[in-house]
């Protein structure tokens, strides 16, 4: 009987063929089958260590594992305990002896215990046998000739736990596989742990197929816990640390949960463009995209223009001197006044031209920058283009055709912020719902956040426990609180009133019409309501142009979802569907109309009420893990002054 993972032989034993090799599970019947990875022909450690019995049910299975060494040490075989022998114990040598004889026989055992402290020493044979007769078979202390082994803790990234791997020196020198970071692909048999550690199962290696060595003097990761800011300098290596590996698995689980939630509720996944002509937020800084030049090319071209300008100025000054001399000559020769007057006018024009050149060179922006004009019609898109700050505007066009849609992708902001909550490149989850009002957006946002929190509790227990131990012990309390709470809903005006009477001092003053800061938001959720809150109906001047204007003409239908510790996790709104109000709003803010013509078209042709929101994915990772800096929540952080690899 054949299968993708192997064949079953006549004895009923599973035979697998990773990399063209045949591997038997052993000669013992009823050896449990292990789950092999379909594409790498190895056993993923999660399928061993993630079992409820810690892998003990797989004892006796032959497997191939691959991973990286988390820690390693060299030991002697004699120092490793063996698994309990299920066979009956041999008769006691003290049986039928008198009391005095028992005491005499126990003395060598006491001395033997003391002599174990000498790792490389030999115990006199007289003490190695209860009868006083030397016997090498009874020796329990290793000699210098005892084989050495490497004891490794190997992790393949599939789970937080590591597998203990024992490699004898006869297979490979211990010094080659012990260094942290070494990669290893090995075959062996799973057995009960031979050490007294908490690990219940280990791999006794019989073959090694690959070893990726490490230069310990240059490898940045050590056994000791390293600061996260230090690890950011090695973003290509830091996933091998326990913390970043767990954060990555949690991030993966949140992404999977996101797609699960929206797919289960009938949303369609839409890929919105990364390059755009419009600013979805209206006021934030954007990264420009062009292939006309690089900054270095531009500076070089501008320098050429400047040098050309200076050369022209020298020519003009020389002409001024020459023409001045000509006028003096005309004066001395008593030439006709018409020639003299013409020469005076020519000199005046030359001086004016030279003066203009000098002013351009002395100006703050520099002559070169004023003379150099970019012709974007020659650019790749024949117009100015930018990296998107949000996929919302484009997503609305699909919501107005397909109903409920969502996008999940990277966005970019060019603000030069050094804050621990800002990134230049980050990911956002943005759903958009047709025929939906503000209440619908609030309901969806609340359900989505609750779903994510419960998902982590149900599906990421091991990694969440590790983050609770390493980063924040209150993680589970927060997740359970959010997953089980009903979000308090208050207006912006109510929030300002509560903040004004707060006894806690704030660094930023609070008054109606200003943006609430993180300290304000966290005070309301952490101290006042002690649960998540949704703040709605904000002043129109602090929200984007596309938010629907309320009847009071002072506020707009916008929401902020605030959670403990992090603050604002979601921002959303009901979109303005009325053409005249949207058009007037764009004019009030002084935005160029051309980039938004297509967006206004949605208000002309078959317009509907629609709502949506955006969740900062890295903020959700911060909330889930307890991390303090957003730069540790994303695989490759990009922020002001730091691009990395």
Q: What is the DSSP string of 38-82?
A: TTTSS--THHHHTSTTTTGGGTT-EEEEEEEEEEEEEEEGGGSPP
- Look up the domain containing 345 and give its range: 293-373
Do 478 and 339 fall into the same domain?
Answer: no
Name the domain boundary from 348, 373, 398: 373
Q: Tell how strand 62-76 and strand 275-276 pair up.
A: unpaired
Widest Cα–Cα separation across the chain: 151
What angle is formed at CA 297 by the lines to CA 291 and CA 299, rounded to 5 degrees?
130
Residues of the chain with pLDDT below 70 are: 1-32, 77-146, 196-199, 282-283, 294-301, 334-335, 362-374
Q: What is the pLDDT of residue 47?
A: 94
CA 196 to chain centre: 36
**Residue 567 in tokens:** 């603050």
In a domain, 14, yes or no: no
What is the rounded CA–CA span in Å between residue 284 and residue 591?
12
What is the rounded CA–CA span in Å between residue 315 and residue 317?
5
> Which H or E run includes 341?
helix 337-362
Do 206 and 349 fall into the same domain?
Answer: no
Do 448 and 515 fall into the same domain?
Answer: yes
pTM of structure = 0.76
Best CA proximity match to 397, nearest among 432, 429, 430, 427: 432
In a domain, 223, yes or no: no
Residue 16 phi/psi, 5-degree rounding, is -120, 155
Do 542 and 474 fall into the same domain?
Answer: yes
Per-residue model confidence as pLDDT tens digits over 245-274: 999 999 999 999 999 999 999 999 999 999
Q: What is the pLDDT of residue 640?
A: 86
In a domain, 91, yes or no: no
What is the rounded CA–CA span in Å between residue 610 and residue 35?
47
Q: Cβ–Cβ contacts within 10 Å for residue 269, how many?
A: 12
Q: What is the pLDDT of residue 373?
A: 60
What is the rounded CA–CA span in Å between residue 398 and residue 324?
73
What is the rounded CA–CA span in Å between residue 249 and residue 246?
5
Whole-angstrom distance between the N-terminal and C-terminal Cα of the chain?
Answer: 49
How many structural domains does the chain have?
3
In a domain, 481, yes or no: yes
Q: What is the pLDDT of residue 86?
A: 43
What angle is formed at CA 417 by the lines to CA 416 and CA 420, rounded to 5 degrees?
150
**DSSP conformation letters of 318-336:** HHHHHHHHHHHHHHHTT--
* DSSP secondary structure code for residue 33 in this structure: P
What is the rounded CA–CA span in Å between residue 547 and residue 552?
14
Three-class SS of residue 516? coil
**Residue 430 in tokens:** 């943005």
Name the domain boundary from 373, 401, 429: 373
What is the rounded CA–CA span in Å between residue 34 and residue 465?
26
Do 346 and 200 fall into the same domain?
Answer: no
Token pair 């954007």 is found at 286
In a domain, 237, yes or no: no
In a domain, 17, yes or no: no
In a domain, 227, yes or no: no
Q: At what angle do helices 461-470 and 438-459 cross, to 10 degrees?
A: 90
Q: What is the pLDDT of residue 78?
A: 57
Radius of gyration of the chain (CA): 38
Do 303 and 327 fall into the same domain?
Answer: yes
Do 323 and 306 fall into the same domain?
Answer: yes
Contact criterion met (CB below 8 Å) for 214 and 178: no
Which ranges of 528-574 would DSSP assign to H, the alpha helix? none
What is the rounded CA–CA span in Å between residue 504 and residue 26?
69
Q: What is the pLDDT of residue 572?
A: 97
Do 195 and 261 fall into the same domain?
Answer: no
**Residue 64 in tokens:** 């191939």
Do 336 and 450 fall into the same domain?
Answer: no
Best CA proximity match to 432, nearest among 449, 418, 415, 444: 444
What is the rounded CA–CA span in Å between residue 34 and residue 32?
6
In a domain, 90, yes or no: no
Residues in the chain: 645
- Sign of the C-alpha dihedral, residues 304, 309, 312, 313? negative
Do 321 and 389 fall into the same domain?
Answer: no
């Amino acid at each position: 009987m054949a299968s993708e993972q192997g064949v079953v032989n006549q004895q009923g034993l599973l035979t697998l063929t990773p990399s063209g090799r045949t591997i038997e599970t052993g000669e013992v019947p009823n050896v449990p089958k292990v789950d092999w990875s379909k594409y790498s022909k190895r056993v993923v450690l999660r399928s061993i260590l993630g079992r409820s019995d810690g892998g003990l049910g797989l004892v006796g299975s032959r497997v191939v594992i691959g991973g990286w060494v988390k820690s390693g040490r060299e030991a002697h075989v004699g120092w490793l305990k063996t698994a309990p022998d299920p066979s009956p114990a041999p008769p006691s040598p003290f049986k039928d002896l008198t009391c005095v004889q028992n005491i005499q026989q126990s003395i060598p055992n006491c001395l033997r215990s003391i002599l174990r402290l000498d790792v490389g020493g030999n115990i006199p044979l007289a003490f190695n046998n209860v009868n006083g007769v030397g016997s090498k078979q009874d020796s329990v202390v290793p000699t210098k000739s005892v084989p050495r082994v490497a004891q490794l803790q190997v992790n393949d990234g599939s789970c937080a736990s590591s597998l203990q791997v024992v490699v004898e020196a006869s297979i490979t020198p211990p010094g080659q596989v012990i260094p942290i970071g070494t990669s290893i692909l090995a075959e062996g048999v799973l057995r009960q742990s031979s050490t007294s550690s908490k690990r219940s199962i280990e791999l006794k290696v019989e073959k090694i197929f690959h070893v990726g060595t490490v230069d310990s003097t240059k490898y940045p990761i050590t056994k000791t816990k390293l600061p996260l800011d230090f690890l950011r300098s090695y973003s290509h290596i830091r996933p091998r640390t326990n913390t970043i590996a767990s954060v990555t698995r949690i991030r993966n689980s949140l992404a999977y949960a996101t797609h699960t939630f929206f797919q289960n509720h009938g949303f369609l996944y839409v890929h919105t463009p990364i390059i755009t002509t419009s600013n979805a937020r209206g006021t934030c800084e954007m990264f420009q995209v062009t292939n006309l030049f690089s900054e270095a090319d531009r500076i070089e071209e501008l320098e050429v223009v400047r040098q050309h300008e200076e050369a022209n100025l020298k020519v003009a000054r020389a002409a001024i001197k020459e023409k001045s001399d000509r006028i003096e000559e005309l004066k001395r020769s008593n030439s006709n006044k018409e020639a003299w007057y013409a020469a005076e006018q020519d000199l005046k024009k030359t001086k004016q031209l030279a003066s203009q050149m000098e002013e351009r060179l002395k100006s703050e922006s520099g002559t070169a920058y004023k003379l150099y004009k970019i012709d974007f019609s020659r650019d790749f898109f024949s117009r100015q283009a930018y990296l998107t700050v949000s996929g919302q505007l484009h997503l609305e066009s699909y919501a107005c055709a397909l109903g409920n849609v969502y996008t999940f992708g990277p966005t970019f902001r060019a603000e030069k912020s050094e804050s621990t909550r800002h990134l230049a490149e980050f990911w956002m989850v943005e759903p958009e719902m047709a025929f939906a009002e503000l209440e619908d957006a609030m309901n969806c946002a609340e359900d989505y956040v609750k779903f994510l929190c419960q998902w982590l509790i149900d599906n990421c227990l091991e990694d969440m426990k590790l983050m609770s131990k390493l980063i924040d012990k209150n993680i589970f309390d927060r997740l359970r609180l959010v997953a089980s709470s009903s979000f308090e809903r208050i207006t912006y005006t109510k929030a300002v009133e509560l903040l004004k009477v707060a006894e806690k001092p704030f660094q930023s003053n609070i008054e109606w019409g200003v943006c609430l800061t993180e300290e304000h938001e966290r005070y309301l959720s952490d101290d006042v309501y002690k649960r998540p809150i949704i703040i709605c109906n904000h002043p129109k001047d602090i929200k984007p142009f596309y938010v629907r204007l309320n009847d009071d003409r002072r506020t707009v239908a916008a929401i902020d979802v605030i959670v403990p510790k992090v603050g604002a996790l979601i921002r959303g709104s009901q979109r303005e569907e009325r053409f005249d109000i949207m058009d007037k709003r764009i004019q009030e803010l002084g935005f160029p109309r051309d980039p938004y013509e297509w967006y206004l078209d949605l208000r002309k042709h078959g317009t509907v009420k629609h709502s949506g929101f955006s969740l900062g994915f890295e903020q959700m990772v911060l909330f889930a893990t307890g991390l303090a800096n957003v730069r540790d929540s994303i695989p490759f952080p990009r922020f002001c002054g730091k691009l990395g690899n």
